[in-house]
Amino acid sequence: MKKFLNEFKEFAIKGNAMALAVGTIIGAAFSTITKSLTDDIIMPLVSIFLGGVDFTELKIVLPRLWGEAKFDEAGNEILNTLNWGNFISAVINFIILAFVVFMLVKGLNKLSEIGKKKEEEKPEEEPAPPEPTAEEKLLTEIRDLLADKK
């Protein structure tokens, strides 16, 4: 059990797990912002061009096939509805999020390319000449011995 807890502690403290946690928290906060942008700014502007239609009101009331009608505390009948206006808002919200993530990844890739170019621009050191082979060493010794005899 102690080994398991130590492994979990090591995993939780590692940079990748912490980065994932931070990314999740920031992503949730950003999702709230984009939902507000969609619901509070974009959809009202879109509804102007559709004659003032509120997208949250766009729904289809589905028929009751069996059973008795149910009523809320105010005495209003509880209807079964297909809320397609909310779905359109969710799709627009997704498109905004996907676009922002695309731009973020594109920017990070651009930064990565810049870093790679800087590394490529550094002058490369010339590799050291290769070590002579055993055959070359032997020939050098023979040459030196012949030169000494002269």
pLDDT digits (tens, 9 = 90+) for 108-131: 888 888 777 776 666 667 788 888
DSSP 69: -
DSSP 80-135: -EE-HHHHHHHHHHHHHHHHHHHHHHHHHHHHHHHHHHHHHHSPPPPPPPPPPPHH
| Domains detected in the chain | 2-121 (1.10.1200.120)
What are the residues facing 109 on neighbouring strands?
Answer: none
Q: Mean pLDDT, 10 residues at a time, over the chain (150 residues)?
A: 83 72 86 87 84 82 85 87 89 86 86 75 76 87 84
pLDDT (tens digit per residue) in 25-42: 888 888 898 889 888 888
